[in-house]
Amino acid sequence: MNYKYRSIAILALFLTILDLTAKWLAQKYLTAPLELWPGFLQLKLSYNPGIAFSIPVPNLAMIIATPFLLVALLYGIRHACNMRHTISKISVALIVAGGIGNFINRIWTGAVIDFLDFSFWPSFNLADAYLTIGAFLLIIFYGKIKLKNS
């Protein structure tokens, strides 16, 4: 495995383990909401059988579609971006970790475990944050990442 992809795989593995551990801890210990910042942030266990913002999609459809979507997305990123750039590597690792973390969670529990609950936003988990941050980094820094064929 090429060094640039090995570093992505190692980071993605670490982030996936962190996400799954956080979900396991939430499932095991969050028997009641835990207020961290009253009126703003609490840890609260919930199960999301849908996709982003609880949009309903059958779990089996997501289990089948996720690997294909992830591979297609990675193929597009790999061919559009110069993977020697650190921001590209971090973005891909975040997207891979987020996709795999939620994918494994769907297989094990039939839903995605959410536990971060801001008063102004739907509940989410680390994998959701990884996906959002990874996509955001690619969008924000895309102009700074030299295209492969340019």
Angstrom distance (rounded) from CA 78 to CA 21: 29
Query: Is 114 one of the annotated active-site residues of the chain?
Result: yes
18: Cβ contacts below 8 Å, ≥ 6 apart: 126
Angstrom distance (rounded) from CA 5 to CA 34: 39
Confidence band for 108, pLDDT divided at 50, 70 and 90: very high
Cα dist from 39 to 24, 53, 116, whole Å: 25, 20, 13
Task: Select the more confidently predicted residue: 19 or 110.
Answer: 19
3-class state of residue 42 by DSSP: strand
Give the model's pLDDT for residue 145.
47
Considering 92, 128, 134, 145, which one is annotated as catalytic?
A: 128
**Cα four-point dihedral sign 53, 58, 62, 65:** negative
Contact 108, 33 (CB under 8 A): no
The CA-to-CA distance between both ends of the chain, in Å, stands at 25
Query: Is 117 one of the annotated active-site residues of the chain?
Result: no
Give the model's pLDDT for residue 150.
45
* In the chain, domain spans: 3-31+51-111+126-144
**pTM, whole model, 2 decimals?**
0.84
Considering 114, 116, 123, 125, which one is annotated as catalytic?
A: 114
The closest alpha carbon to 108, from 53, 67, 54, 47, belongs to: 47
**What digits encode the pLDDT tens for the residues 43-75?**
999 999 877 766 667 767 778 888 888 888 888
